[in-house]
Amino acid sequence: MEDQATNELTGPAPALTPTAPSGSTTKQLFQRCLIDNVREGVIMVDQYLKVKLWNQAAEQLTGIRGPGMLGSDWLPSYIDLRDRFDKAIPDNACPIKESIRKAEQVMLAATVTGRGGRRMAIELHVIPVMGRDMGVRGAVILMHDQSSQVDLEQQVLTLYAHATRDQLTGVANRAHFERSLDARIKEFHAKTTISSLIVADIDFFKKINDDFGHHIGDQSLISFAKILQDNTRTNDLVARYGGEEFVIVCPNCTLESAFERAEEIRLALSQAPISALNGKNMTASFGVTEFQTGDTAITAFVRADQALLLAKESGRNQVRYMEPKKTDDAKETSQPRKIQSDIEWMNLKGNLLLQQEGEITCPLEILVEKIKGVVAQNEYKIGSAEEGYVQILVNKPSGTKPSLINRPLALVVDIETKENIPSTQSKRKCLRIRITVRTLKNRDRRHKDLDQKAKQIMNQFIGDLAMFRLVEEKLEAPESRY
């Protein structure tokens, strides 16, 4: 039987006809019927790579008639054989030649050019034919049509992309985010792996749409999404929650690490010129939280979203966080963490309106320059200054002649600093700062816009000085003597 197989490969090439040549045995008739009717393309070559057989399925796959190939040299270029990356396989790197040389089977995903120039995806299987002396007599090449399978896989991938990706930015969409967040929450409860959530929102995005148009607004969203992806890990999930709001699920990430990551993204965005905005920059605000015991996907998101709102209210272009409560039953919180101040601050006199204590990450020298910038930009005046303290006079005229009813507000901003204080956010030392807004005169408390003006000034200093807020207190006004 081996001699017969060897003769088939080394002898004259048999004609591929529906019926076997005269004198064929019954066994040969069955073999030829099998070869001509299998769905796989079957090609046989001898040890010199001469084509000995080319069945009908091979004709259909390649668009090349078998009789014209019989006796020809086998070359990958004849069928435009390419690997799965669509890179042409050169004739000198022929997988059939390698299979014969090494006496080993070869399997690879490939494509060939079929009828009409259509690319056909195939699975190529090369089987060396061995003699009794273990010498290689040639090879059988099987080509399985994978086009329908590839088309199906591509359709599945396309449907998956539509179901999970935001069509504008390419990041995950809200539905995929909600499923992923729910899965991470369940994983947190099962394995107690620390994970965090970041919520980000582009500042003044409506103004971008109004000034540049919605098309430029879309380009700005795409740029922001790319910055988010470029500054996150491969296992972080970046998603567009809706409009200009984005979210990042950070598995195996502590609150401190997530806060630092959000700050890195904030800086990268604020320093990156956006081509769609004619090279101008845009900023974003961020809210951060860490998963806690008893959390659901909703409670974790609400907590991060509240931190984002806090960042917006504090002047935008900053990062704020909501720390999980260390209790058995998790509760939602809408206020920043209250910390009893252990710093010995000055005993300020006068009518105090607002006080804010926080941390600054920059050195004192840079903070001083930032304060000078705020004063110069807003035409404020420095009343007095000493080590660790500066008094700023805020006196904004109304634009009309002052009167008993309509007079300018005379407010004072007191800024106190303490260096080398242990940070509440990390193990490093920080610059602790307290800002106080107060009136110069007691009668100014009757001003109808006093509370709003004090809040605006406080938020301005918090935002411009990039202060991380720790304690906030609104001081009750004393009874008016009028």
Strands 351-360 and 319-322, by their bridges, are unpaired
Q: How is residue 326 written in tokens?
A: 């260390």
Q: What is the DSSP string of 280-320?
A: B---EEEEEEE--TT--HHHHHHHHHHHHHHHHHTTSSSEE
Is 264 annotated in the active site? no
Neighbours of 427 (CB within 10 A): 7
3-class secondary structure, 5 = helix
Handedness of CA 204, 206, 207, 213 (dihedral sign): positive
Residue 18: phi and psi, rounded to 5, are -55, -25
CB 61, CB 116: distance < 8 Å: no
Alpha-helix runs per DSSP H in 320-417? 364-378
Alpha carbons 199 and 54: distance in angstroms, whole number: 62
**Torsions phi, psi for 310 (to 5 deg):** -60, -40
Buried b (16+ CB within 10 A) or exposed e, 212-230: beeebbebbbbbbbebbee
Strands 245-250 and 136-145 come out as: unpaired
Backbone angles phi, psi at 308, to 5 degrees: -65, -45
- State how far the Cα of 72 lies from the Cα of 54, in Å rounded to an integer: 11
**Nearest by Cα to 337 from 472, 475, 237, 142:** 472
DSSP 82: E
Residue type at 78 in one-letter notation: Y
- Contact criterion met (CB below 8 Å) for 164 and 143: no
d(CA 282, CA 206): 12
Of 59, 244, 357, 359, which residue is the catalytic one? 244
* Residue whose structure tokens are 């996907």: 297
Longest dimension (CA), the chain: 128
Q: Is 178 left (phi over 0), alpha (psi -120 to 50) or beta?
A: alpha
250 close to 261: Cβ distance less than 8 angstroms? yes
Active site residues: 244
